[in-house]
Amino acid sequence: MATMADVARSAGVSVATVSHVLNDTRPVLPHTRRAVLDAVEELGYTPNTLARSLVTSRTRSIGLAVSAISNPYFTEILQGVEASALEHGYSLLIADPHDDPWHEGKAVGLLHERRVDGMIVAPSAEPRALVAYLARHRVPAIFLDRIVGEAEAEGASRFDQVCAESAEPTTRLVDHLAGLGHRRIALVAGRPGLSTTRERITGYRHGLAAAGLPYDERLLVHGDSEAAGGERATAELLSLAAPPTALVTANNAMTIGALRALRERDLSVPGDLALCCFDDFAWADLFSPRLTAVAQPGRDIGAQAVRLLLDRLAVPNRPVRTVRLPCAFVHRTSCGCAEQVSGQPGHASAPLGHASGRSGEAHAKANERTLP
């Protein structure tokens, strides 16, 4: 097996120069760099990552802890994290905390034992132990998808965070349904304690108020962010003496559960109940009717999380940042609207909550908040 010394002899340079080329630690003349890279290719040299980590105290690895990896939304985030990590020369270690504080602690602890350089975590609904662990061990970490405030966990304000907008897009769904004449609009909300749940409930209530509709607590039921919970919550709503005529589901798993509950009762969408959902996914356009949805920028969220983490590793004392990325309203037919004349598979409007015509990166910068 070729060594770094073999590469140095073949290229006619020092071992230190080979190290600078491979690790990009010091500028090297173009022709020298080319000679080193040609020697690497010719000899089939593979860097010893373990040995390098012992010298640099860095493993060039990132730990990712997200629950429900089988969820299409988190799969998109995973793809964004992985692509961005690989682009910057980092490997990825993945753990599933199962949205449970105990499992979360075990998963984060195991990733820490693997000496990852930093972590990207989607916190559970009870993040105090997580935040305390990361702060105690000084682990560089980014909170993903769910925002954690000081009220939920002391010390949370020390960590960078990235997520999608939740409140305004939910308001948009309610406003759309109210504009179609619905007066009893229900919400199947997510797991209590999550910031996404709180924000989507806020958006729901704002939408009702903006439409001049009263808030009826019986029309808001928690589905715990799972398909089974969404099915149970929808069944509860349909059992009301005055059931809703329109429904908003707060994530894609609960959308599946809601559709199951409607099928069990031989009810049709949108004939018996109009439906809009938070989270677009690949199958949404294949349902009949096609699902009107809010699309989150999953891959962009994952990539942004990696950028925040690498920035934190490069400058540990930089100001803390919270970045929110815009969503898009994908207009299809489950809301009761007619099929698009163009016949296109759904029309995504400009990002919700922002002026149109700006790039995703510009949106992120415009909606980035720096904490002292």
Q: Are residues 241 and 271 in the same domain?
A: yes
Q: Are residues 250 and 105 in the same domain?
A: no
Q: Are residues 119 and 204 in the same domain?
A: no
Q: Are residues 72 and 149 in the same domain?
A: yes
Domain annotation covers residue 74? yes
Give the number of C-alpha atoms closer than 13 A to the C-alpha of residue 41, restricted to the C-beta side. Answer: 6
Packing angle between helix 128-136 and helix 101-113, nearest 10 degrees? 20
All residue ranges of the chain with pLDDT < 70 are 47-58, 68-70, 340-372
Domain annotation covers residue 101? yes
- Looking at residue 2, its pLDDT comes to 77
Q: Are residues 99 and 213 in the same domain?
A: no
C-alpha distances (whole Å) from 273 to each of 225, 235, 244 are 21, 13, 8
Phi first, then psi, for residue 293 (nearest 5°) are -150, 165
Domain annotation covers residue 198? yes
In 3D space, the residue among 295, 268, 270, 267 whose CA is nearest the CA of residue 281 turns out to be: 295
Q: How far apart are alpha carbons 302 and 306 in whole angstroms?
A: 7
Number of domains, the chain: 3
**For 18-29, what is the HEC assignment?**
HHHHHHCCCCCC
Q: Are residues 208 and 309 in the same domain?
A: no
pTM of the predicted structure, to 2 decimals: 0.79
Q: Are residues 312 and 194 in the same domain?
A: no
Domain annotation covers residue 143? yes
Q: Are residues 209 and 336 in the same domain?
A: yes
Query: Would you say 189 and 223 are in contact if contact means Cβ atoms under 8 Å apart?
Result: yes
Q: How far apart are alpha carbons 209 and 205 in whole angstroms?
A: 6
- Looking at residue 48, its pLDDT comes to 59
In 3D space, the residue among 114, 62, 64 whose CA is nearest the CA of residue 85 turns out to be: 62
- Looking at residue 41, its pLDDT comes to 84
C-alpha distances (whole Å) from 213 to each of 4, 166, 185, 200, 372 are 71, 21, 9, 17, 40
Q: Are residues 212 and 332 in the same domain?
A: yes
Domain annotation covers residue 361? no
Q: How far apart are alpha carbons 138 and 118 in whole angstroms?
A: 10
Domain annotation covers residue 244? yes
Q: Are residues 158 and 18 in the same domain?
A: no
Domain annotation covers residue 52? no
ω into 47 cis (within 30 of 0): no
Order across the sheet with 368-371: list the strands. Answer: 91-95, 61-65, 118-121, 141-144, 160-164, 320-325, 368-371
Domain annotation covers residue 54? no
66: domain range? 61-164+299-325
- Looking at residue 26, its pLDDT comes to 80
Q: Are residues 28 and 82 in the same domain?
A: no
Q: Are residues 205 and 237 in the same domain?
A: yes
Q: How far apart are alpha carbons 173 and 205 in whole angstroms?
A: 11
Q: How far apart are alpha carbons 255 and 252 in whole angstroms?
A: 5
User: Which element (helix H / strand E) includes 189?
Assistant: strand 185-189
- Looking at residue 4, its pLDDT comes to 81
What CATH number did the domain enclosing 23 receive? 1.10.260.40
What CATH number did the domain enclosing 148 receive? 3.40.50.2300
- Looking at residue 340, its pLDDT comes to 64
- Looking at residue 355, its pLDDT comes to 32
